[in-house]
Structure 1
Amino acid sequence: MEEIKIQGARIHNLKNINLTIPKRKLVVITGISGSGKSSLAFDILFEEGKNQYLRSIGILAGLDNEDRFDRIEGIGPTVAVRQNTIRQSNPRSTVGTKTGILNQLALIYASDGKSLGEQNKHHSPGVFLYTTVEGMCISCQGRGSYYDINLEQLIPDKTTTLLEVYESLRVTAGFLKLLKKKYGMYFKTPFGELPEEISGEVIYGTYDNGKQSYCIERILRNAYEKGEDVEEVYTKTICSVCQGERIGEEAREVFFGEKQIGELGQMTLSGLFYFLGEIAEEELSQFGKNIVKNMKKKLNHLIEFRLGHLTLYREMASLSGGEVQRIFLHLHLASRLDSLIYIFDEPMAGLHPSEKKSMIKAVKELRDIGNTVIVVEHDKEMIQHGDHIIEIGPKAGVEGGTVVYQGDYKGYEKADTPLSQYLFGKCTMSEQKARMDTFDRADCLILEHVNTHYLKDLTVAFPLHAMVGIAGLSGSGKSSLIEETLLKRLASSRKYGYAIGIAGIERISGFAKISQEPIGRSANSTPVSYIGIWDKIRELFAEQPEAKMKDMSAANFSFNSKGACKDCGGSGYERIFLTSNFSVDKRCQMCHGKRFNEESISVDYKGKTITDVLAMSITEASFFFADISSIAKPLCVLEQMGMGYLTLGQPSSSLSGGEAQRVKIAKELGRKRKGNMLYVLDEPTTGLSMYDTALLLKLLDQLVDSGNSVIVIEHNVEVLKNCDYIIELGPEGGDKGGEIIAKGTPQMLRVNPNSKTGRYLV
């Protein structure tokens, strides 16, 4: 079967669409954000590919398609990676373990390593792996670092009770309820007087099947990983025994090329490739020669994918979505499997314009070995190389969900669709009026002597009351400069009342980081709960005469509380686990996915039940609640940002990074700030089409025109063209980066021969 045929696809906003997708081709699915392209790619193609495979081997034979489509033919085994997939947080999962390079290095050290003693002792490969009991550093358990809790800072007063400690850590009401069941009898006890076994459990928790219970260490670690300012009481410390090398004493006594394996683990992939190239062949055994040859081939492949700035010990949880996908792509190309269907979610995300060719080459190679490659993408270059292009639209939400174009690139140029107009120049971004030709150093934030990671003692001036772009190749130091230095120094100065290593802080009233971190990881979190109007909607239902007659409160209109369906607990589905980390969802047979019990659904407001309201789009809801300003105003801001297609009940975990970021911008715009704020954004165009990018730029301009300052880390040339000032880092990534190679207006970068970005700003 050379085609995938879909009839009557109707999940989410898809309007009974029919499609024929050619197999063994590079297929690009594009469309405005919220048009339905992800519903087609992931909720139809991927889910049905997975479910058909499970049914074919006799698992979940009774699982139906839940009315998602009429018929699908030609689907096969399907593999997918999404941008918003929650990556594993295990600190032992690193680039080295994921790619297998660390295991190969361990084999080299076991066969060709040289000990300090006169006699070379034979070691097993496990001795050189921090993932094994025999190889890990016992002090840090193979993590290379550990977190110290400063109890004196956390509990400065001897009379501070356990309850007061929990309250100072802002433990949620739900968790406090659970903790009360376990430690309630100690809540009023001064922390210093707790029994030793209880205080140990409260601080570090207990472990059940490797899972840590809810404890102070876990609370602080979660806050630290979210970027919250807890460094005063919770700091990451490099292990003093292994110095971050993760391995035990026995392995640290063995050298290869005069380096320990832990030293190689901390090298960039580019640096490791160069190091292996310097090893003379005559120094290696035949086995060693073969391993080194294989490693160099693998490293070169990863470097071609623009991952050379990563280290083997870089934790997978810390990688961007684009980096994860490029590692995933490398692994599947190396496996040489064919006849699969691969689905990628914006693999061009996080790539500098000069780095895109390698990604296009890789997905074509995956296609050429006999696979079907489906890419959900907005990038013009990727679309240009597609064998078959599908645009879903014409707009978002209820105005989307239809196929507005399918065919080749040549035919796409003649199509009159919302995105093709931008792609082929029929519709252009509005040109930003120049706010500055030069900048006044007296109106700047200045970072002094920055040496974070690979940054080379930089002093950097950021113009205020402007939009400043931070550009550069992957790994050149953009996040090190902004996230790891600027934001941390700003946070420290706010906390301690004085600035160290930063000047001009008195010129801003405050700062806010608007990241792409999820605004909620569970299905119970929604954009409307995040912006603070969900409680108001529930209270509105509780005020209705029928609700008052039944003595119902706002809790009866929450699927997290009294209003929840008893069978599914308010989730709307039954989750069936096939293995510990692989599951499928089946719609709840009691509430049919509505999430609420019958009593909660019996009450209406203006003829709409609480489930009807959750099913409304933001656009519909802004009209429905037009007479209630406190609800309608935040909804109108979201609509202005092009997010009117989202439904009120959409899980926050389903939002792309770009969508989550725009919800955060909407929340900021809705706040009554005193002006002169500094807003910092990291790649806000992830997940956005050119149409949506134009809307985003209007909002950022609105922030600046209102007297605020914006710093944006970005690769998107349309955003960089609209910046007032650009700071470009480079020249390469990792240890070959960390310098400022160009700075100035977009016009200045265009003529700067050192700039690697300027040539794309025409």
Structure 2
Amino acid sequence: MKEIKLHGARIHNLKNINLTIPKRQLVVITGISGSGKSSLAFDILFEEGKNQYLRSIGILAGLDNEDRFDEIEGIGPTVAVHQNTTRQSNPRSTVGTKTGILNQLALIYASDGKALDEYKKPLSPSSFLYTTADGMCISCKGRGSYYDINLKQLIPDKLTTLLEVYESLKVTSGFLRLLKNKYGMHFDTSFWELPEDIQDEVVYGTYDNGKQSYCLERILRNAHEKGEDVEEVYVKTICPDCRGERVGDDAREVFFYGKGIGQLGQMTLAELLDYLDEIPGEELSQFTKNVIKNVKQKLKQLIKFRLGHLTLYREMSSLSGGEVQRIFLHLHLESKLDSLIYVFDEPMAGLHPSEKQSMIEAVKELRNLGNTVIVVEHDKEMISQADHIVEIGPKAGIEGGIVVYQGDYKGYVEADTLLSKYLFGKRTMPERKVRIDIFDNKDCIILKHANVHYLKDLTVSFPLHAMVGIAGLSGSGKSSLIEDTLLKRLASARKYGHAYGITGVERISSFAKISQEPIGKSASSTPASYIGIWDKIRELFSKQEEAKLRNMDAGYFSFHSKGACPDCGGSGYERIFLTSDFSVDKLCPMCHGKRFQEESLLVKYKGKTITDVLEMSISQAVFFLADQASIAKPLRILEQMGMGYLTLGQPTSSLSGGEAQRVKLAKELGKQRGGNMLYVLDEPTAGLSLYDTALLLKLLDKLVIGGNSVIIIEHNIDVLKNCDYIIELGPEGGDMGGEVIAKGTPKQLIASPNSKTGRYLTCY
């Protein structure tokens, strides 16, 4: 079939829509946040494509799913690249393992590598991989480095007592009592005069069944993992045995044209391609020739995607969002599969304007292989090059869920939808009154010697009581400067009263980091629980007359306590595992997704059950709970941010990165603050249409007018041109970045010959 035909789609807020989507084309589905576009793309097209394929091979036979639509025709095997699934946190996952290049290099070394000892037994490919027990360096367990404590820096004074050491690290009173029971007799002794075995135990602890006791190493590791700047005393040390090569002794004695595999792992992709280009092919086995040809092809495509600055050993968790998306797109393009349906979730998120065209070309290449590519996107460039456009709207939640436009780009220009008005200048973004007197060296925070990752020992001034944009290409050092340097040093200054390399901290009352990291992974985490109103709502139900008669406390109105449905445990569905890590969900036959046991649903507040309240949108709940001030206030903030479409009970794991960030911002704004706060946001426009971006700009402006400071990492031109001051990093990514290439007001960036962002500020 040449089309996907959908009839009566009605999941979430979709209003029984009918839709015909052409196959083997690039289709963009757009709409404001909460309009229903993700419900259409992921909850229907992707889920049904996956489920029909599984049914066709007999895996899901006889499994009825919830009533989401009347009929769907022409759907085929479907692949989803969702923002939530592309984020990586495993430190052993690197560019080399994710792309498969390290595995291919291991084959080359096992086949044609030359050992220093000629009579040595040949090694298997696994011996060249840091991810295997055979191949990893034993000392660092394949990490290439480890953290060690610089005791002389931590305790520079020879007279500092053990108690003073603990106090300087802000050990809690509870742990201090435990430590006193163990080391109390040594508390008044200088640390450097303690017996060597006690010193060692205080620093590195003891182990009981593999569990480390409370010690200085554990205190510093916890602080490091929380993002505090403890790098002066908790130092990342390159493994002395493998010198960062990650692999064991045997592998390090095998060379291929003068290089060990660990040395290749530390090269950038561009350097690796140059190295492989110089190897004479006539001396190689046919097998190795084929593998090298394959590796070079991979490297060329990754470099084309502007990833040449990465090394094979670069951890996936340290990559920017744009870099991660491009690696995943490369993997799908490399498969060369056709006749598939791909569903992408905002592949343009996290990209600098100059990087967008290469992403669009890659998506088109996937289409040209014979696939249907469906992209959920707000970006004007992607929309302008789509074969077919679908806008869901007109607004969010109950005001959305219908098809307001379907057709080509030419027709969209003439359309009169909410988003097309913003896209084509019929409605304009709000313009802030940008500060002219922006830079005053007295009213700023100054960072000195910022050199994390590729930062080139920078000194950077951040003006306060202003909106400051941090711009630059993907991988240019924006997150290194803000997340890994500024925020860590601010955290250390707040905890210890001082921090290395930062001045002006006393000019703010406090700071809040608002990132795109998921709020919670469990189904029990909801917007209501996250913003702190869920307990109050449950208390409200427990005070109703029916609840008192039945002796029901607040626990009966919790779906993971006494109130949970006994069949599904309060999840609302049954999870059926097809393999150890692949499952499908079936609606619970007892509670039909309501999550609660029957008795809990007999109690009503203003005629509504606890399930009814959880199913309310934030906008509905603001009206319904208007007389409950402590509940209504944080809900109103969310509504003002354009998030009135979220339901109180939806799992926070289902929120996009941008949505999660705005819920965090609402929670921060709901706290009683005295003003003069510093808010640091990481790409808050991810997942936002121009309509939603306008609402966010108004909110950020309100924060600055209220005496606060805002630092915002952003690519969105509409946001950057409304900043009071912009700091741009570059000129490229990775080792070619890490410098401040331009700074000043938006007008000054437009005039700067070095700025790569300024030229786009004039285009809007």
Q: Distance in 1 between matches of 2:412 and 2:334?
A: 33
Q: Residue 602 of structure 2 aligns with which residue? A: 602
Aligned-partner residue type, residue 323 of structure 2: E
Conserved 8 A contact 1:203-1:217: no
2:45 counterpart of 1:37 = no
Give the structure-2-normalised TM-score. 0.90
**Corresponding residue for 1:752?**
752
> How far apart are the structure 1 equivalents of 2:655 and 2:240?
41
> Offset of 1:553 from its aligned partner?
0.8
TM-fit CA distance, 1:326: 1.9
Question: 2:419 maps to which residue?
Answer: 419
TM-score by length of 1: 0.90
Unaligned runs of 5+ in 1: 170-186, 206-214
Cα distance 1:140–1:168, how it changes in 2: closer, same or farther (>3 A)?
farther
Change (3 A) 1:188 1:739: closer
Deviates more, 1:370-379 or 1:305-314: 305-314
Which residue in the other structure is 1:200 paired with? 208
CA distance change for structure 1 residues 388 and 307 in 2, over 3 Å: closer, same or farther?
Answer: same
**Residues in 2 aligned to 1:580 and 1:451: alpha-carbon distance in whole angstroms:** 43
Q: CA deviation at 1:114?
A: 4.2
The aligned runs of 1:349-748 (5 Å cut-off) are 349-748=349-748
1:216, 1:584 → 2: CA distance? Answer: 45
The residue type equivalent to 1:95 in the other structure is: V
Deviations 1:302-355 (Å, cap 9, x if unpaired)?
Answer: 122222233212233444444333222211211211000000000011111000
CA distance in 2, matches of 1:202, 1:285: 47
CA distance in 1, matches of 2:370, 2:711: 44
Describe the shift of the 1:118–1:75 C-alpha distance in structure 2 as closer, same or farther (beyond 3 A). closer
Could you tell me whether the CA contact under 8 Å between 1:325 and 1:344 is conserved in 2?
no
Amino acid across the alignment from 1:471: A
User: Secondary structure, in 3 states, of the residue corresponding to 1:28?
Assistant: strand
TM-superposed deviation, 1:219: 12
Q: Which residue of 2 aligns with 1:90?
A: 90
Cα distance in 2 for residues equivalent to 1:19 and 1:223: 52
Amino acid at match of 1:41: A
Most deviating of 588-597 and 94-103: 94-103
Q: Is the 8 A contact 1:437 1:745 kept in 2?
A: no
Q: Which amino acid aligns with 1:734?
A: G
Say whether the 8 Å CA contact 1:7–1:69 is kept in structure 2: yes
What's the offset of the Cα at 1:709?
1.0
Tell me how far apart the structure 2 counterparts of residues 657 and 167 of structure 1 sit (CA, whole Å). 37
- 3-state SS of the aligned residue for 2:311? coil
Unaligned runs of 5+ in 2: 156-161, 185-200
Deviations 1:258-277 (A, max 9, x none): 43322321233233233434
Cα distance in 1, alignment partners of residues 182 and 229 from structure 2: 23
2:137 alignment partner AA = C
Pick closer, same or farther for the CA change 1:527–1:231 going to 2, 3 Å: farther
CA distance in 2, matches of 1:85, 1:334: 19
Q: Which amino acid aligns with 2:647?
A: T
Deviation at 1:519, TM superposition (A): 1.2
Deviations 1:594-631 (A, max 9, x none): 00001111100010100000000000000111111101
Distance 1:391 1:40 in 2: 11
Bigger Cα displacement from structure 2, 18-27 vs 509-518: 509-518
- Going from structure 1 to structure 2, the CA distance change for 1:62 and 1:225 (only over 3 Å counts) comes to farther
* Compared CA separation, residues 554 and 586, structure 1 to 2 (3 A): same
Q: Structure 1 458/199 Cα, relative in aligned 2: closer, same or farther at 3 Å?
A: closer
Q: How many angstroms does 1:551 deviate by?
A: 1.0
Whichever residue aligns with residue 382 of structure 2, its letter is M
Deviation at 1:60, TM superposition (A): 1.9
What is the Cα deviation at residue 293 of structure 1?
3.2
Pick closer, same or farther for the CA change 1:508–1:166 going to 2, 3 Å.
closer
Which whole-Å CA distance do the structure 1 matches of 2:92 and 2:691 have between them?
Answer: 41
Rounded Cα–Cα distance in structure 1 between residues aligned with 2:445 and 2:280: 50
**Corresponding residue for residue 63 of structure 1:** 63
Identify the range of structure 1 (612-621 vs 253-262) with the bigger mean alpha-carbon deviation: 253-262
8 Å contact kept, 1:445–1:504: yes
Q: Secondary structure at the match of 2:403?
A: strand
Give 1:226 deviation, angstroms.
6.1
How many residue pairs match? The answer is 731
Equivalent-residue separation in structure 2 for 1:2 and 1:221 (angstroms): 56
Give the CA deviation at 1:286: 5.3
Distance 2:645 2:173 in 1: 38
Aligned position for 2:249:
249
Provide the C-alpha distance between the structure 2 equivalents of 1:664 and 1:231, rounded to a whole number of angstroms.
Answer: 28
Cα distance between partner residues in 2 of 1:459 and 1:499: 15
SS at match of 2:307: coil
RMSD: 3.2
Q: Which moved more, 1:100-109 or 1:631-640?
A: 100-109
Match of 2:208, as an amino acid? G
Give the whole-Å Cα distance in 2 for the aligned partners of 1:600 and 1:240.
62
Q: Which moved more, 1:115-124 or 1:309-318?
A: 115-124
Other structure's SS at 1:66 match: coil
Amino acid at match of 1:201: N
Query: Which deviates the most, 105-114 or 417-426?
Result: 105-114
Partners of 1:577 and 1:198 in 2: how far apart? 40
Alpha-carbon distance in 2 for matches of 1:228, 1:16? 50
452 and 634 in structure 1: CA distance in 2 versus 1, 3 angstrom threshold = same
Q: 1:625 to 1:262 in 2, by over 3 A?
A: same
